[in-house]
């Protein structure tokens, strides 16, 4: 599962990084992103464009625009079996920009949060899917989900699932409307553990209202500050 992530760069950097034809004004860095919130997503519209979408996919055929917690993530192994995700997988794929994500490890003292990120960059892309829900007046609601898979060795010590992080060279293929299905499925693998890092953070991150840089501070650093 990926139930919380961060995007610590502003949209001007996203425009350059993902070569989009537009930017999103007044979108600031986010440190503790939670489901139902609106975040930047990259879609292919010749060229790429950046849109705000709601996290938690609402199928186009849904009777009401209600986010189900189960639709914030889509299991890679079930995409073609799911009535919710099959159509988006075949025709409505997107990139979800991120700087890192949080997972919680079950311990004897409760759940310990970790921040997990890539070692060599402050922004990358999750493999995502999106859908468009329309009300009776034709108003549209765009929403997305993040695809997950089995964890690599680093994440496995913390949690039993991890989000799909795409290699930069594979992002274009993921957005390609004409991409072969087998090629797309081949991209849905765990990111190499040796290129990632993880560290414990404070349970301050447990509340989405705590959307500040402090949630990214290593727990050891926070404890030292408190003792001081």
Return the higher-pLDDT residue of 137 and 7.
7
- The confidence band for 227, taking pLDDT boundaries of 50, 70 and 90, is very low
Lookup: tokens for 161: 């699932």
pLDDT cut 70: percent of the chain above it: 96
Give the least confident one: 1-10, 20-29, 104-113, 142-151.
Answer: 20-29
pLDDT of 228 over the 80 cut: no
Closest CA to 2 of 86, 83, 113: 113
Give phi and psi for 17, each to the nearest 5: -65, -40
Q: Given pLDDT bands bounded at 50, 70 and 90, which one contains residue 221?
A: low
Closest CA to 40 of 6, 71, 2, 68: 6
Count of C-beta atoms within a 10 Å radius of residue 77: 12
Question: Which range has the worst mean pLDDT, 6-10, 45-49, 126-130?
Answer: 45-49
Residue 23 near residue 44, CB atoms below 8 Å: no
Confidence of residue 222 (pLDDT cuts 50, 70, 90): low
10-25 tens-digit pLDDT: 888 999 999 999 989 8
Residue 12's pLDDT is what?
A: 85
Q: Are the C-beta atoms of residues 68 and 56 closer than 8 Å to each other?
A: yes
**What CA–CA distance (Å, rounded) separates 151 from 131?**
26
Q: What pLDDT, on a 0 to 100 scale, did the predictor assign at position 87?
A: 96
27-67 pLDDT tens trace: 889 999 999 999 999 999 878 999 999 999 999 999 888 88
C-alpha to C-alpha distance for 207 and 34, rounded to whole angstroms:
9
pLDDT at 189: 97
pTM of the model: 0.94
**What amino acid positions are annotated as catalytic residues?**
2, 103
On average, the pLDDT of the chain sits at 93
Domains in the chain, CATH or no CATH each: 5-227 (3.90.1680.10)
Distances (CA, A) of 97 to 17, 32, 124, 219, 221: 10, 14, 6, 25, 27
Name beta bridge partners: 110.
107
Phi and psi of 2, rounded to 5°? -130, 100
Of 43, 226, 31, nearest to 143 (Cα)?
43
pLDDT digits (tens, 9 = 90+) for 151-183: 999 999 999 999 999 999 999 999 999 999 999
Q: What is the DSSP string of 115-128?
A: EEEESS-S-EEEEE
């Amino acid at each position: 599962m990926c139930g919380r992530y961060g995007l610590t760069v502003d949209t001007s950097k996203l425009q350059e990084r993902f070569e989009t034809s537009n930017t999103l004004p007044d979108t600031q860095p986010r440190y503790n992103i939670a489901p139902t919130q609106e975040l930047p997503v990259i879609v292919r519209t010749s060229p790429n464009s950046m849109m705000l979408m709601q996290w938690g996919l609402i199928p186009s055929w849904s009777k009401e625009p209600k986010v189900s917690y189960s639709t914030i993530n889509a299991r890679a192994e079930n995409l073609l079996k799911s009535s919710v995700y099959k159509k988006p997988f075949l025709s409505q794929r997107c990139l979800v920009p991120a700087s890192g994500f949080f997972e919680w490890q079950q311990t004897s003292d409760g759940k310990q949060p970790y921040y997990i990120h890539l070692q060599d960059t402050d922004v990358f892309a999750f493999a995502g899917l999106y859908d468009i829900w329309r009300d009776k007046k034709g108003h549209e609601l765009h929403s997305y989900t993040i695809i997950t898979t089995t964890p690599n060795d680093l994440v496995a010590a913390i949690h039993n699932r991890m989000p799909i992080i795409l290699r930069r060279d594979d992002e274009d293929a993921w957005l390609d409307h004409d991409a072969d299905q087998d090629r797309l499925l081949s991209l849905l693998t765990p990111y190499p553990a040796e290129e990632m890092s993880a560290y414990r953070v404070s349970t301050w991150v447990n509340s989405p209202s705590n959307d500040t840089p402090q949630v990214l501070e290593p727990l050891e650093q926070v404890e030292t500050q408190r003792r001081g």
